Structure 1
Amino acid sequence: MSSWRIYQGVDQPHDGIASLPAPPPWRDFGSGGTVTPFDREVPAAGRHRLPRGTAYRADEGTIEAVNTALYLRRPLLVTGDPGVGKSTLADAVARELRLGTVLRWSINSKTTLRDGLYRYDSLGRLEEAGLARHRAGGRPTGRTELGRYVSLGPLGTALAPYALPRVLLIDEIDKSDIDLPNDLLDAFEEGGFEIPELARAADQQETVRVRPAGGGAAVVVVRGAVQCRAFPFVVLTSNGEREFPPAFLRRCVRLHLPAATGDEDRLRAIVEAHLPGVGAAADAIIAAFLDRAATGELATDQLLNAVYLMSRTGAAGAPGPDRLVQLVLQHLNVTAPVEA
């Protein structure tokens, strides 16, 4: 029997997603509609920057939770303190399984479901129609192509008919209006949604091509309906600032990422993954980090910043290790500025 692990938490991208079994009958969204292609390779992030997720190190619990969500075609709700890698998990899965660029939807208190699904530029359509009539001397100008005025949001794009799942990060869902988690349930349960502006015009334009978030091939929408073929891999992150309704929670696979601030071996592995070659030279900074983490809140990215700076302090005028710790490893739950 092949490995149960589709996502393995390894460094090298692979085609394990092809081994994902058929979904449970109650999560099968069919195979109709025109397949939308997408670029499965995560583009390089730049000459001096690794692609997101490259240095992520998943533990056993995380690997099991990701695979559970993949098998069940359910969203993964990831909780934990800031800086533990909640958002980076989406990038790591996308990179390893070759599922393209992550679709990102950042949430705030004013975010609505429609913000994530699609945008319809009604004003632009009216302006262009008026301009066309003016050029034609007031005569009717025929139909306009509605797809020019519709663009899909990150959630709407994730629910487009791709043959393989797209990866969607819904970041900081706990900052949303109280109704948004419940509003998401219909889209998650149905695996699709309707664009009313296109549905109303379906008798005149049954098929419309619309722009997806992040670019790429246009999505073919028939009679206003967007329906997924493969349910996306959805990561919802939360810093634990609020509770979620039971109806929402029971439709998610839940994962809590504990802080690494007290685990010396894990911290050393994180440092080595992000800054290979530092080795024992980082031990003094890690020890200082552990000492300070015992008396206040710190995040692992502060440790990475400190280790990086430590490797650049050989030049004249650079601060010493103790001063560097003062500058970078400041407690997050204290607002007093560092002393000069």
Structure 2
Amino acid sequence: MGVERPQGDGELAAIPTGWFLYRGTGRPQQDPQLADRLPPPPPWRSFNGGPTLIPPSEDLAELDRRLGPVKGRPGRTPDAREVMAVNAALCLRRPLLVTGPPGVGKSTLAYQVSRELRLGPVLRWPVNSRSTLHAALYDYDAVARVQDARLSETEPDIGQYIQLGPLGTALLPFETPRVLLVDEFDKGDLDLANDLLDVLEEGSYQIRELFRARTRTPEVDVHTADGQTVRISHGKITCRAFPFVVITSNGEREFPPAFLRRCLSLRMPEPGPAQLAELVQAHFDRAAEPYKDRIIGEFLSYRRRDPVAADQLLNALYLVINGRESWSEQSWRPVLDVVLRWRDEANEE
């Protein structure tokens, strides 16, 4: 069955609809589950983890906080190439590397896909210079276990001291893909991309502490990053539906060629006036109407001089809307100076 597709380049109009599942509408689809519509993976990206798990329900409050309520137009209408990149990554079971300047909606894309395809809560791995692959997979609190053992006559259950990280949780054998947001990956250590290669290629990893004890305790219940409890057999986890992985980068450095070959790439441009207006409407509905066009115009003027992000526009409008009783050009211009120039001053330090 065909689906509604974004209007855009002529070459995209002829794309078969069999793997065109994400439409970029900003609204949850009411079609059958994604597992019934997603084409089978390529043989080299097929995984057989089990037993199969059902993903938890969407975190509707978090989606509303990130994207605005589901009503009217979506908060940001994606262009045709963005929609194509998302669908290709889903179909090929490959990570999507999303680059672009700060504030253009790179992280938001993960939440948009999660909402529309109803893939459950987004698992977020915020990367910094101290981030490690091990911590993203799982954490084992050996100290707490030793301390509890001293107070107990029996050996504590090792699973109570193991917490899967966002990446480790995303690679559980779920029936449908989980959404994993690897945020600001370029802030990580230089070796982090190479460390991640094998896990993303194999779709599996070992919990060393459980693998060593597999003959004594072959099955152990552990905690996940989203508050669930799952049973692990013989200390190894293999995915079934490879997660939809969005890796964001501000372009602060290059990644190894081997890493780039295993990802699909998407460059997101700065949003134009129409996209900014949609973003404002999604978060403020009609409350911003008296000020929207004027404030967006001023925002674009700032952006021509210095880098500013869309969330700064939302901050400025929030202050203007909540001070509407005394609103005037003399009152909102200092607001813009404070909110928008704050980033300029931060960049100068």
Q: Fold-level match, TM-score > 0.5?
A: yes
Question: In the alignment, does 2:331 pair up with 1:320?
Answer: yes
Gaps of 5+ in 1: 134-140
Three-state SS of the structure 1 residue aligned to 2:300 is helix
Whole-angstrom CA distance in 2 between matches of 1:316 and 1:12: 36
> Which of residues 13, 17, 27 in structure 1 aligns to 2:45?
27
The 1:33–1:266 alpha-carbon spacing in structure 2 relative to 1, beyond 3 Å, is closer
Q: Answer with 1 or 2: which has the greater Rg.
A: 1
Q: Which one of 92, 97, 105 corresponds to residue 117 of structure 2?
A: 97
1:178-203, Cα deviation, whole Å (9 max, x unpaired): 11101111110110101111111111
- Counterpart check, 1:157 vs 2:169: yes
Report which stretch shifted further, 325-334 or 99-108.
325-334
**By how many angstroms is 1:316 displaced?**
4.3
Tell me the alpha carbon deviations over residues 205-263 of structure 1, each in whole angstroms, 9 at most, x when there is no partner.
111111111112x2221111001010001111111111000000010111111112xx2
Cα root mean square deviation, aligned: 2.2
Aligned length: 322
Contact kept? 2:76, 2:278, Cα under 8 Å = no
Corresponding residue for 2:246?
A: 235
Superposed, which structure 2 residues align to 1:89-238 within 5 Å? 89-133=109-153, 141=154, 144-216=156-228, 218-238=229-249
* Runs of 4+ residues deviating >6 angstroms: none
Query: Structure 2 vs 1, CA of residues 70 and 328 (structure 1 numbering), >3 Å: closer, same or farther?
Result: same
Q: Which residue of 1 aligns with 2:102?
A: 82
Looking at structure 2, the residues matched to 40 and 96 of structure 1 have their Cα atoms a distance apart, in angstroms, of 13
CA distance in 2, matches of 1:314, 1:226: 55
Distance 2:94 2:191 in 1: 20
**Structure 2 length-normalised TM:** 0.86
Greater helix share, 1 or 2? 2
Unaligned 5+ segments in structure 2 are 4-16, 69-74
Match status 1:301 vs 2:311: yes
Alignment partner of 1:287 out of 276, 285, 297 = 297
- The 1-side partners of 2:37 and 2:65 are apart by 25
- Pick from 17, 22, 28: which aligns with 1:13? 28
Q: Deviations over 1:238-295 (max 9, x none)?
A: 11111000000010111111112xx222222222222222336311112212222222
2:72 match: none
Structure 1 residue identity aligned to 2:158: L
Partner in structure 2 of residue 136 of structure 1: none
Counterpart for residue 138 of structure 1: none
CA contact (8 A) 2:76 2:276 kept: no
Tell me how far 1:317 sits from its aligned partner. 8.5
| TM-score with structure 1 setting the length | 0.88
The one-letter amino acid paired with 1:305 is N
SS in 1 for 2:52: coil
CA-CA distance at 1:161 after TM superposition: 1.0
Q: CA deviation at 1:331?
A: 6.6
**Aligned partners of 2:184 and 2:247 also within 8 Å:** yes
CA distance in 1, matches of 2:156, 2:243: 32
